Structure 1
Amino acid sequence: MDVDVARNLHEVLANLPEGVRLVAISKYHPNEYIEAAYAQGQRLFGESREQELSRKAGSLPKDIRWHFIGHLQTNKVKYVAPYISMIDAVDSMKLLREINRQAAKCGRTIDVLLELHIAEEETKYGLTLGAARELLDGGEWRELHNVRICGLMMMASNVDDEAQIAREFDTAAAFFDECKKTYFKDDDAFCERSWGMSHDYQLAIAHGSTMVRVGTSIFGPRVY
């Protein structure tokens, strides 16, 4: 193993204040890297491809909490529903319904985050603020008893302009507050503000993030 995963992990963790959790993004990295982080106490890992995730979940320790971090197609939900801990990027009512359906089949409740599209890039998935309000106003999600909305997720624009990135994080934070007040006032589970990656997680924390997704800074460049 030519990456010092343990040292890198501790460097990242040293930058996280109390109350901010780390999802170690392990997609495209081998099991031995995950095992090295696991040995240091890391339990949250993020994957974005259903087949790779299933393979790893089958061969790695059972107390790992797997997050599905990529764009999840509805026809793939059934493959991850038995064991996924959280689906981080729900961007439609259709996907929410399917997660609920498959979770019910497995006799479990699956935690999810709603993905917001705030960045000025067309390539990103997610709900606009208007679409997120529409989904929540619709109220159908309240009838889905096997899925639990635990907060919001977003990815900032991939730019060097820190002021723009900070503005986008602030937009997400303000929208979280609006959602909490309007739809989740008495729901303690709705508490996660998930933004920040390897290159911007410290800025994200300064702008309200409670959950950062860091891969490259821990595991090095992806192994395709």
Structure 2
Amino acid sequence: MYEYIASNIDRVKERIKKAAERSGRSVDDIVLIAVTKTVDVERIKAAVNYGIKDLGENRVQELTAKYPYISDDVRWHMIGRLQTNKVKYIIDRVSLIHSVDSLKLLKEIDKRSEIANRMMDILIEVNVAGEASKGGVAVEDVIDFVKQSAVFENIRIKGLMTVAPQTDDPEIVRPYFAQMKELSFKIEKLKLDNVEMKYLSMGMSGDFEVAIEEGSNMVRIGTAIFGERPINT
């Protein structure tokens, strides 16, 4: 019934492989996150059964609703905007929070992580194109923000994330991905305690090959795996 999902995953993995090779890396260096926004549990299970190990959710309500029905073997990622009052619902369910862009949110994650007796891995979201409609720290403020973020005792900073401007031509956003890679290099050179530029989360269904070519090692793919989402979701 869901054979198309397996076929889509195969195609995405092949495209990842070729993009990784063009950047001098192996496909094994790239983490594929299947984005499950608006995707029902049965289709998620089909992807997991076909080998998907990382799932990304944009909405806390959807993540908490689907979480009990999906294998414990998968890693959940919170990739959408996260309100401070929702942190408590996901703190013991996700392996990585991608969308951290404020000290207020960091403080809440730190507090909830301490209560849950765990360390929370996070990425700093960067608004690389300065789009007013998107979250993320401004490029010029990222290094200072990372320095302020490094002091929290129950959080580990594992890299950066961005959402590039939406365009039909991925070449248009290539410079933004290159800028993100350069930024991660600058932060790595600072050798800050509790800061590791392990992940560069960038690239979605329309632009992930260019993102990988420019240094991404974590891509968030929804449409290319599960198909087009319903309008207005």
TM-score normalized by structure 1? 0.92
Asked whether 1:42 is paired with 2:49, we answer no
Identity of aligned residues (%): 37
Post-superposition shift, 1:37?
0.8
* Structure 2 equivalent of residue 212 of structure 1: 219
Aligned partners of 1:3 and 1:219 also within 8 Å: no
Cα distance 1:142–1:134, how it changes in 2: closer, same or farther (>3 A)?
closer
Aligned to 1:146: 154
Structure 2 CA distance for partners of 1:21 and 1:201, relative to 1, 3 Å: same
CA distance in structure 2 between the aligned counterparts of 1:3 and 1:217, rounded to whole angstroms: 14
Please report how far the alpha carbon of residue 96 of structure 1 lies from its aligned counterpart in structure 2 after TM superposition. Answer: 1.0
Distance 1:162 1:62, change over 3 A: closer
Answer yes or no: is 1:52 the counterpart of 2:59.
Answer: no
Q: Distance in 1 between matches of 2:83 and 2:44?
A: 25
Give the number of equivalent residue pairs: 221
Aligned to 2:86: 76
Query: What are structure 2's unaligned runs of at least 5 residues?
Result: 17-26
SS class of match (1:121): coil
* RMSD of aligned Cα (Å): 1.8
Aligned position for 2:23: none
Which residue pairs with 2:119 in the alignment? 109
Question: Which residue of the partner structure matches residue 156 of structure 1?
Answer: 164
User: Who is 1:129 aligned against?
Assistant: 139
Match of 2:190 among 182, 185, 191: 182
Deviation of 1:3 (Å): 6.7
Secondary structure of 1:213's counterpart equals strand
> Corresponding residue for 1:194?
201
Contact 2:98 2:123 (8 Å CA) reproduced = yes
1:131 match: secondary structure: helix
Deviations along 1:14-53, one digit per CA (max 9) or x if unpaired, are 2222301101001100011111111111110011111110
Give, in angstroms, the shift of residue 156 of structure 1.
Answer: 1.1
User: 1:109·1:148 contact (CA, 8 Å) conserved in 2?
Assistant: yes
